[in-house]
Amino acid sequence: MVTTAQAKNMRDKIDIEGTVERMEEPRTVNLRTGGTTRVCNAFLADSEGDIKIALWGDDIQKVKNGSKIAIKNGYTSTFKGEVSLGKGKYGELIVQEY
């Protein structure tokens, strides 16, 4: 497992766990492949700080503020200078407590 501080400097194969501190309102986005889906920004916190995570589709309903979660095989991307963590196509979101 890595910390949020370490994850911000990694690109992929990120295994991390922490607590969801706050969630923004979900929004609908257009997909490159056509159609739409919902995405929600949340913030995952641990003893080192926090990192923004992008929750897509059905994953939004799996977590709430205060949920303890783990992301296996996640990746980061940078948009407008801000690092965001996602589970991606090959990653896994594990909710340890709901």
Residue-range domains of the chain with CATH: 4-97 (2.40.50.140)
In the chain, which ranges are continuous DSSP H helix?
Answer: 4-7, 59-62
Using an 8 Å Cβ cutoff, are 87 and 74 in contact? yes
Q: What is the pLDDT of residues 15-72, one digit of tens each?
A: 999 999 999 999 999 999 999 999 999 999 999 999 999 999 999 999 999 999 999 9
CA distance 45 to 31: 28
pLDDT at residue 97, as a whole number: 60
Here the tokens at position 32 are: 């490159």
